[in-house]
Amino acid sequence: MSELVADLLAGEHRALARVISMIEDRSPGYRDIVSELHRHTGTADVIGVTGSPGAGKSTLVDKVAATYRDRGETVGVIAIDPSSPFTGGAVLGDRIRMASNAGDMDVFFRSMSTRGSLGGLSTATTDAVTALDAFGKDKIIVETVGAGQNEIDVVRTADTVAVLVPPDSGDDVQMLKAGILEIADLFVVNKADLDGADRTVGQLKEMIHHRTDASGPDGHGTDDDGWTPPIVETVANAGEGVDDFVGAVQDHLDYLDESGRREEKVRSRYAAEVRTLLREDANALLAEELEARGGVDRAVDRILAHETDPYTVVADLIEPLESCLGERRQG
């Protein structure tokens, strides 16, 4: 494992691919690898790209990656795909959707499955970002499946979140009002050459106006944290507006650094990761204990027979853990 980590840190793409495969498969030893890589992170900018299906996320990500490469920066892309109901793997697999960057070793693309995680971001995705960061990628783009309000989980991984909205998409704008609006650091109206683009831009401006504080110090209204999400119009398949998008992302990253918000975001991200891992590990531990006591079916049989109840079943399972932790705190 130490040799694999050393190879990854030395810039070997084969080692990076192997580590991410281990992370996704939850292979033995992957946690030790991620733990070792953590100390080498903190230099990459992480950009989340989300929005409704058909908004053109993959095309935009492809063009954005090419733009970063033209500027001499290395890029890692994690594309979250819907999980297969049969295998748990990504339905679309390692699809060919980075046409502008085919053959460029400095653009690392990986398609990962959601594995049923709300928001389309599994814990494996967070670990994969860690691996890409430690590898030395300058920009890491996480493209999510676009599954609606649950997409807010992208915030836990990204420094800057871009929400794509197709033109003349009243339903999509209504969806944004349900929650995704709150996570957007910038909006992108892609396919801006189509009818309805101006109407969509107007709707978004109205939403942002209602979201922001009209008494903001910049005179234009600002978010609670001092940032007003800009709206960028693009025609990604023609490469139009991509430079504007990259510029808007950089403006937000600069704002995070100048305001001190980047550190706050990192702290929040790690706090969320710790809580997620606690839930996963505690759940696995207690599920194993439940199985050792006859499994959930036996517990349900006893509940149906009125010999016990769900609260008592859970309390009996947790009691040894509570007792052990209590003794350690007192010791």
The long-range contacts involving 97-104, CB below 8 angstroms and separated by at least 24 positions, are 97/58, 97/59, 97/62, 98/61, 98/62, 98/65, 99/62, 100/62, 100/63, 100/65, 100/66, 101/62, 101/65, 101/66, 101/69, 101/75, 104/69
pLDDT at 89 over 70: no
Q: What stretch of H or E contains 191?
A: none
Q: What stretch of H or E contains 181?
A: none
Confidence of residue 215 (pLDDT cuts 50, 70, 90): very low
Residues 51-81: tens digit of each pLDDT: 877 788 999 999 999 999 999 999 999 998 7
Confidence of residue 109 (pLDDT cuts 50, 70, 90): very high
Are 66 and 100 a contacting pair, CB within 8 Å? yes
Distance, CA of 99 to CA of 200 (rounded, Å): 29
Parts of the chain belonging to CATH 3.40.50.300: 41-259
Of 170 and 46, the one with more pLDDT: 46
pLDDT at 120 over 50: no
Over residues 145-166, the mean pLDDT reads: 75
Q: What is the pTM of this model?
A: 0.86
CA 155-83-50 angle, to 5 degrees, is 30
pLDDT at 32: 96
pLDDT at 150: 53
Q: Which of 174, 173, 188, 180 is nearest to 154 (CA)?
A: 180
Residues 270-296: tens digit of each pLDDT: 998 899 899 989 999 999 999 999 999
The CA R_g of the chain, rounded to the nearest whole Å, is 22
Of 18 and 192, the one with more pLDDT: 18
Are 67 and 242 a contacting pair, CB within 8 Å? yes
Q: What stretch of H or E contains 233?
A: strand 231-233
Q: Which CATH number fits domain 41-259: 3.30.1370.10, 3.40.50.300, 3.40.47.40, 3.30.465.10?
A: 3.40.50.300
Helix axes 261-292, 310-330, angle to 10 degrees: 120
Q: Which of 163, 164, 61, 172 is nearest to 111 (CA)?
A: 61
